[in-house]
Every structure is written in structure tokens, then in C-alpha cells.
Copies of this chain bind each other. A is one copy, B any other.
């Protein structure tokens, strides 16, 4: 490899080309069969468009965005992303499966608020009377209330003498929201800001992993008061699935948070067990199949399964109850339960190694019962280097995880990179989530290219699209493709295919999903190729 070995510039250039090919030989878009003519033309067109918009869009000045660049902080750059032609074209791409998202965070915040407003029994309260100095920090809390002895307060605003913590019917609270605080629209803003993370929080007031996680966790508390209520839950699931289908996702495998043992029933009693949650889920999925079939759209939706998840705050003894619960649910709903996971802010959570005995026992029981119920664990969602959060990766892999949620710190581990590549453990990479939650400052700093170049299987995932306002996968796909030169449309396609291969759907569904994906992909690249030709001829 010494320069002395080159007799000519030509010999150098040939060695250079060989070296580049060798360096990229593990990449899935370099290993795959040759491109079709349409694929090659589509890839070419997307590359041209990306290069052109890097100048025309990202190189232009934008009011309120002092430093625009491709792959920039999503919450600041979102409006710019959405005006690109590249974004619009990616929207149409068949995305395959969504393998990493949290069910409670998959519906647009506005839609969720609308669902709440359609139910007058939903009440809201604030932890302090709302006035201009606290409307940004006081959190709304929701709960269905039927009892007639609910207090008669009709506003959450300080001007009306609101007593912190009293429940107010949501519609009244909205109607009576102080004009000074924006009236009903001000109420909506207040609720949405409790359900979402905004740019100022992520990049200014809460600009560390620990601080933004505090805000992040609070949004789930706000949302669950609405979602975990039977009459809303079914509608919510449907909205969630439709948001994915809308974006070209044909199969969804969300984590469902089962730490609460019950949700609120139609009578306002919190007594509806997990079993019924799954029945509702099943009913919605079946209903959606029928509905889409009626519209001739059955190709767009293969199905959905759920990964049982609980928080890494439990004691091992508490965890035992949940793993048993998960096994029972799997036995009752084998076509729905896809796996088991533990979630939470990795830097401050109980490390996986604490749960090893319980999880080994779970694995053994699953095996002895002949169930298909693997661990699909979050791990390495951290900047740690050899500390406990980072070391969760060792446990996830040793515990036999089928995929790794995030795996942000995986790039630091040569042996684990090899095990994931050779052991076919897919990494569920959540670009925007990682950036908003401050693991990376922008997409160009994200370790995704390291994983891709090391030949590790990856699926791009949205994690919590409600919180960052990025329904579907298009925003995440955009961030990935906009901030690389080597990764183009073909690599996005390989990741979409992998999302199907590494999903937990049935073999039959997988075949069907892959067949329809291939068909939709062929149509998609054909359309792009034709766009490319018409652009050339202009």
C-alpha cells in the first residue's frame, strides 16, 4: 500500500478505485444484484435533485433559520425540508415496515387533541392556574370523568380564579381560555406544546440529553390521559395505522407500553386489562383490512403486531409479573404479540444486566412453551463509552435480542458490529429521535453511516413522530439521504426491504409484504426515472 508501488498515475487510479470498492464492499447497496435500468435512472435523478437542492434550497437564506444545511436540526429545519422536491418524492416511496415506534407517540398531536375534544367527558387540569408567565411550563393533564360531583370549575385560567389541580371539562376549558392567552387557539397551542417538543426546548432550554428527556417523558403523561381510554383507544389505533399507511408503510410493529395494568373503560373506571387492549387492537386491524379491501387498497397494508414494553424503572421482581403477562397475552394473541422490550432514558435507567436472571427465565419459558416471542431490546441509546448504558449492548446481544432499538453507541464496538452483521441483528435507527433527544446535534454527525459501511442491517424508524411532528418515515428518510453522498435511493430501498425481512410478521405475510413492496418499488422507480428523463429533456 506504499506509494512506491505505483508506476503511474493510472496504476494509482486503478488502486484507488479498488480500495473504494473494497471499503464499501460490506454495504448492502454494493452487495445487491445489479440495478434495473429504472433503478439506475431513479437513483441518478435523486442524486441530481439532492445536489441541486443542497444549493438552491439549503444554500438560500431562510428567515428564522440562521444556519440552514442538509440534515440540520430537524425542529428548526422542518419547514425547509418540507418545501423540497426531494421530500415530496420520498413521500411516495414504499417504505416497507415501521419497526421502532412507541404506540402512544404515533398520532399527530392535533389529531389526538381532536379525538379528545370529540369526547366531552374528557376533563383537563393544570398544575398551576394558567397565566402568561406559566402557560409554557404548566402541563395539561387529561382524564375522562363521568361522576356528577366533579367540580364545576369552567376554566383553567388564573383570571377565572382557577384552583390548581381541579378538573375542567375539556370543551369548556377550551372555550373559556383567556383571550389574553390566545382564546381557544391558545388552548390548542397549550395542549400541543404539552404533547410535543419544540425547537426552543430541544436546542436551548433543554439542550442536554437529561433535560430533554424530562420534557420528553412529560409528553407521554399528557398523551396517555387521552389515549388510555377505551372509546378513544380504538380510534387512536386506527389513526396511528392510517398515518403510517398514508406514508407508504405497509406493516407496523409498535412498542405498546403495558406498565399500567389497566386503562379507563367506558364507565370511567380504570379496570380494562391488557387482554382487552389487544382485542381492541385486533378489531381495528381487521376492520382496517376490510375497509382497505373495499377501497381496492389491500396492497397498502399487510398488518401490525405489537411489542410488549415496560419501563426500566422496575425491580426484577416487578418485571417478572410483566414477562408472565406477556407470555399469557402471546398465548391468547399469537398473531399480535411480536416480542418483549424494556424502555426508558438509558443514561439513568436500571441497566439491562440487573434484569438478566428474569429475562433468561423468560427466554427459557418462551422456548419451553414453543412460542415465537423474542426479546427486541432497546440498547445503546447513549453517548456513553464503556459505561453501564453503553454496556447494555452486550446484554441485549447475549440475551438474544432479534433487533436492537437505537444501537447509537454500537459503532464503538468492533466485536458487536461483527456479531450484529454476521448474526443478522438489525439495528432500528431513529435519526430524528436521536437528534431531538440530543445524542447528535445534526444528521451529518450521526453514526448511521458507520453502521451502513460496516454492513450492519439497519431499518430507519421514527420512534415518536408525534413529539417531533414527523408523521410516517419520510422525514427520517429525508434526513438520512440529505446528509450523505454515498447513500442514495438504492440504500433507502435496501433498508426498506430489510425492515420487512427483520419484522416479526408471519412468513406468509412477509412473502406478501415483499411481493407488494417489489411491485410498488418498481412503479416508484419507474416514475422517478421518467421524471429524470423529462427533466433532462427540458
Contacts and interface: CB of A to CB of B under 8 A. Distances in A.
Interface of A: 1-4, 6, 9, 12-13, 15-16, 19-20, 22-23, 25-26, 66-67, 69, 207-208, 211, 353, 356-357, 359-360, 363, 367, 375, 383-387, 390-391, 394-395, 397-400, 411-416, 419, 423, 439-441, 444-445, 447, 449-450, 453-455, 483-487
B415 A23 contact: yes
Contacts of A383: 444-445, 483
Contacts of A440: 441, 445
A418 to B, nearest CB: 9
A210 B184 CA distance: 44
Most buried by B among A13, A356, A357, A414: A414
A400 B3 contact: yes
Nearest to A448: B385
A215 B20 CA distance: 34
B414 A1 contact: no
A413 B445 contact: no
A489 to B, nearest CB: 14
Contacts of A412: 449-450, 453
B69 A208 contact: yes
Most buried by B among A395, A447, A450: A450
Contacts of A387: 485-486
Given A15-B398, A387-B485, A487-B386, A9 B445 contact: no
A441 B445 contact: yes
A366 to B, nearest CB: 10
17 contacts: A1-B419, A3-B360, A3-B363, A3-B398, A6-B360, A16-B394, A16-B398, A19-B398, A23-B413, A25-B415, A67-B207, A383-B444, A385-B444, A386-B487, A439-B445, A440-B441, A440-B445
Contacts of A3: 359-360, 363, 375, 398-400
Nearest to A3: B400
A356 B1 CA distance: 15
B208 A367 contact: no
Contacts of A19: 394, 397-398, 415
A293 to B, nearest CB: 39
Given A400-B2, A450-B450, A208 B20 contact: no
B445 A414 contact: no
B12 A360 contact: yes
Contacts of A395: 16
Contacts of A67: 207-208, 211
B23 A394 contact: yes
B485 A384 contact: yes
Nearest to A72: B208
A415 to B, nearest CB: 4
A357 to B, nearest CB: 5
A25 B414 CA distance: 9
Contacts of A207: 66-67
A411 B450 contact: yes
A25 to B, nearest CB: 8
B26 A414 contact: yes
A241 to B, nearest CB: 32
Contact of A385 (B1, B385, B390, B487): B487
Contacts of A419: 1
Contacts of A15: 398
A268 B511 CA distance: 81
Nearest to A68: B208
A398 B1 contact: yes
